[in-house]
Amino acid sequence: MTLRFPIHLARVYDADLPAGARLLVDRLWPRGIAKAELHLDGWPKQVTPDSELRKWFHAEPEARWPDFRKRYRDQLESMPEAVAHCLDWCRKGPVVLLTAARDPERSHAAVLRDVLTDAMETSR
């Protein structure tokens, strides 16, 4: 049986972050945050949605959420090495996926968390 560590979502602007390896999962550096403030363990830009998908989603996030989830999952499926890199962190201990998104649960970070969780479950 494989031990599955938690994968948390948090905003880069949160004062109290959960314990775990801190991975920034935004393609762009968050505004108003100094690099030294985040104490990152990694910045896997390759697992972020491409610019076209990100811009498309941000134009109408509520209406496009279901389609965005599918399209981003499809992108992640096309980059197994990048996802595997994140999974390496997940196998070592708790992970905190950091994003500047206002609502991390309705963002690419939540989709990435779900993909990583599913991958951990199927690799048992």
| Residue 104 belongs to domain spanning | 7-122
Once rounded to an integer, what is the mean pLDDT over residues 30-44?
A: 93
pLDDT of residue 3: 55
Does 12 have pLDDT greater than 80? Answer: yes
Is 2 inside any structural domain? Answer: no
3-state secondary structure at position 59: helix
pLDDT of residue 66: 97
Percent with pLDDT over 90 in the chain: 87
Q: Compute the distance between CA of residue 47 and CA of residue 64 in angstroms, rounded to an integer.
A: 20
pLDDT of residue 37: 87
What percent of the residues of the chain are helix, what percent strand, and what percent coil, each to the nearest 5?
Answer: 50, 10, 35
Q: Report the number of distinct structural domains present in the chain.
A: 1
Is 81 inside any structural domain? Answer: yes
pLDDT of residue 44: 96
Q: Is 90 exposed, middle or buried (0-12, 13-18, 19+ CB in 10 A)?
A: buried
Does 1 have pLDDT greater than 50? Answer: no
Q: Where are the strands (E) in the chain, listed by range?
A: 7-11, 21-24, 95-99
Is 1 inside any structural domain? Answer: no
